[in-house]
Chain A
Amino acid sequence: MRIESQIEITPASVVLNGKAIEVKESGDKMLVELYRRYAGDYPKFFKMDTLARLGFIAAEILLQERVTESREKRTVDAVILANRSASIKNDNDYLATISDGQYYPSPSLFVYTLPNIVTGEIAIRHHIQGETAFYVLDKPEQLEQIIKSQMSNHRSPIIAGWCECSAPNEYYAKIQIIWNN
């Protein structure tokens, strides 16, 4: 397996292929700042929960910053992400809409109470009709094992990595573009 590029995002930093990207904001606001800088043309971003925004931004930066010569090299075969906490932060936001005495379940929050939605958002934005999958795991090494077990299926690179959001302003992503060889 060969790693073409990697992005690591914490609430206070963004590092692409080892180089820090300057940001003014931090936490949830930082993701909005990055959206305006790297995308800005996709109002659906504001409907997403933090987990989806995190994965969306990571994929957006990774794909924009790719140095690729040919059109063929631009396709991405799959989006495979993982974390430990599934969609817990948004689950709690949804729970607040069905609390006793205030029962108004929000459909737009409910749809994000599945962690794989972030992979769907990335697939829609970048026209990826390959595989999308989400795993809930204890350690990132487990994701490596899963990716290894399927890499021979992919002629184009895949987007894969860890994408976690457990509370407001608390998130972490380490996502890569990976080739089979």
Chain B
Amino acid sequence: MIEQLKSQIIDALNFEDMTPADIDTDAPLFGEGLGLDSIDALELIMLLDREYGIKLADPKSGKAIFASVRTMAEYIQANRTK
């Protein structure tokens, strides 16, 4: 599931030159690591809805959920409706 999530992130955020192998499961997504910005955060929120049926009521809670691919995967496992 983590591999699939990494592929989805690469697609959603247009990381043209990347493969899932290039993304460290535990590295920070924001700040250093992949250096995502505010638009990327919004796209990840849309990804949760589109692929997993999860609607994030409070975008601020996104910070903890999107800390790394692992935290994202854990949140999805716990909350997915698709």
A interface with B by C-beta (< 8 Å): 32, 43, 46-47, 104-108, 111
Give the interface SS of chain B, mostly helix, strand, loop or mixed.
Answer: helix
Query: Which one, B9-17, B65-73, B74-82, is touching chain A?
Result: B9-17
22 contacts between A and B (CB under 8 A): A32-B16, A43-B16, A43-B17, A46-B14, A46-B15, A46-B16, A46-B17, A47-B14, A47-B39, A104-B46, A104-B50, A105-B46, A106-B43, A107-B39, A107-B43, A107-B46, A108-B13, A108-B14, A108-B39, A108-B40, A108-B43, A111-B39
Give the interface SS of chain A, mostly helix, strand, loop or mixed.
Answer: helix
| Contact of B42 (CB < 8 Å), options: A32, A43, A46, A107 | A107
Q: A47-B13, A47-B14 are in contact. Are A104 and B49 (CB under 8 A)?
A: yes
CB contacts (< 8 Å) of B39 on chain A: these are 47, 107-108, 111
B interface with A by C-beta (< 8 Å): 13-17, 39-40, 42-43, 46, 49-50
Question: CA of A104 to CA of B48 in the docked complex: distance in angstroms?
Answer: 10
Question: CA of A105 to CA of B43 in the docked complex: distance in angstroms?
Answer: 9
Closest 6 CB pairs between A and B? A107-B42, A46-B16, A104-B50, A46-B14, A47-B14, A108-B43
Question: CA of A104 to CA of B49 in the docked complex: distance in angstroms?
Answer: 8
Q: How far is the CB of B26 from the nearest CB of chain A, in Å? A: 21
Nearest A residue to B34 by beta-carbon distance? A43
